[in-house]
Structure 1
Amino acid sequence: MLDTARTALARTARRYAPHEHRPLHGYATALAAFGGLAAALAAAVRITGRPIPERPSLADVALISVATHKLSRLIAKGAVTSPLRAPVTRYAGPAGAAELNEEVRDEGSSLRHGVGELVTCPFCLGVWAATGLTGGLVLAPRLTRLAATALTATAVSDFLQFAYDAAKNQDD
């Protein structure tokens, strides 16, 4: 059955993008993993009996939003997190303050390529980070708020560093 699914996916990929390689198998695996994450969070909520808030507070939405931004950028672009991406990427150069440009490795499997695209895309990772942090608000709200506060403070600090540099350079 798995071979039949792979064959069908390969046929679909050839029809979908006949002139360009698109790693649909890798994308499908990432989608399945994300579905597994969401299902695991839902199961954990059900097993623990934690109540799901009817409406998240505006403060939590703001906190999780900024934390999601910082976490997804840190994973996708951070110089210090490059060892996590190295198995599926190749260094291409600096991208600014403590960030890197990396290229997804083309050699290897469609899965490796799909994972490479996922871990180098802060927009793609944002969905994963937001899902994890939102699930954390239900399962471990105090710990999640604490971690999100640290990420949010770091993001605000980043913006203040850029503002400081801009103000300092304006006098030159």
Structure 2
Amino acid sequence: MTTDELRYDDQGEIPLAGYAALASTFAAGGTVVAVLSRMRGVRLPQQVPPWDVALLGTATFKASRLLTKDKITSFLRAPFTRREEEGAAGEVNDAPRGGGARRAVGELLSCPFCTAAWVAGGLVACYVCAPRGARLLCAGLSAVTLADWLQYAWTWTDQKVEG
């Protein structure tokens, strides 16, 4: 096989080893939570009520946006991303930098959809270990999501009135 046949993409820039390391870290984190929960005698819920799924979903949405798009959390992304442009509603758009694992982390931290899986994993782990605390945390993040929507509604209404 030639080198071109072995490459995953045309430019050779896809950090597959970095992706594999991140996926392994995610899986290892889930395994650690499962083992520690079992050792502590934590029982998994028989079912997750739809209200909790909605709460976890809205909290996951907001937390992933905060981590990947908020100006204030830029310091977390800066080693792995660079600011590309200002986004709407005070958000920013970052692009991954570097190569290998650094680029893979940069791609994760600049994508709210990618980060959502990690956030959901963390929130579900909290939900299993401390459901009341997890619900409170999710309620707070969900309240911010609702507040954001109210801000958008207010701005839209104001623009319609002003003409």
Question: Same fold per TM (> 0.5)?
Answer: yes
Scaled to the shorter chain, the TM-score interval is over 0.9
**Consecutive aligned runs of 4 or more in structure 1 exceeding 2 Å deviation:** 11-15
- Matched residue, 1:169: 159
- Where in structure 2 are the equivalents of 1:25-104 lying within 5 Å? 25-104=17-96
Aligned residue type for 1:134: V
Matched position secondary structure for 2:14: coil
**Separation in 1, partners of 2:66, 2:25:** 21
Q: Structure 1 residue 131: deviation in Å?
A: 1.1
Distance of 1:153 and 1:127 partners within structure 2: 20
SS at 2:116's partner residue? helix
Distance of aligned partners of 1:13 and 1:157 in 2 relative to their CA distance in 1, 3 Å threshold: farther
Query: In the alignment, which of 5, 8, 11 is matched to residue 19 of structure 1?
Result: 11
Counterpart of 1:110, as a letter, is: G
Question: For 1:25-50, what per-residue CA distance to the aligned partner results, in whole angstroms no more than 9, with x for missing partners?
Answer: 11011101101111111112111111
- Write the distance in 2 (CA, Å) between the matches of 1:15 and 1:87: 27
Match of 2:119 in 1: 129
Stretches of structure 1 lacking an aligned partner (at least 5 in a row): 1-10
Aligned mates of 1:119, 1:103 — CA distance in 2: 9
Q: Describe the shift of the 1:12–1:32 C-alpha distance in structure 2 as closer, same or farther (beyond 3 A).
A: farther
Asked whether the equivalents of residues 13 and 24 of structure 1 are also in contact (C-alpha less than 8 Å), the reply is: no
Distance 1:162 1:114 in 2: 33
Long gaps (5+) in structure 2 = none
Identity %: 38
1:14 Cα offset (Å) = 4.2
**What residue identity is the alignment partner of 1:27?**
Y
Instruction: Provide, for residues 4-36 of structure 1, a one-character-per-residue CA deviation record: whole Å limited to 9, x for no partner.
Output: xxxxxxx79943214341110110111011011
Q: Given residue 91 of structure 1, which amino acid in structure 2 is its aligned partner?
A: R
Instruction: State yes or no: 1:145 paired with 2:139.
Output: no
Tell me the C-alpha RMSD between the 2 structures: 1.6
TM-score (norm 1): 0.88
Partner SS for 1:102: strand
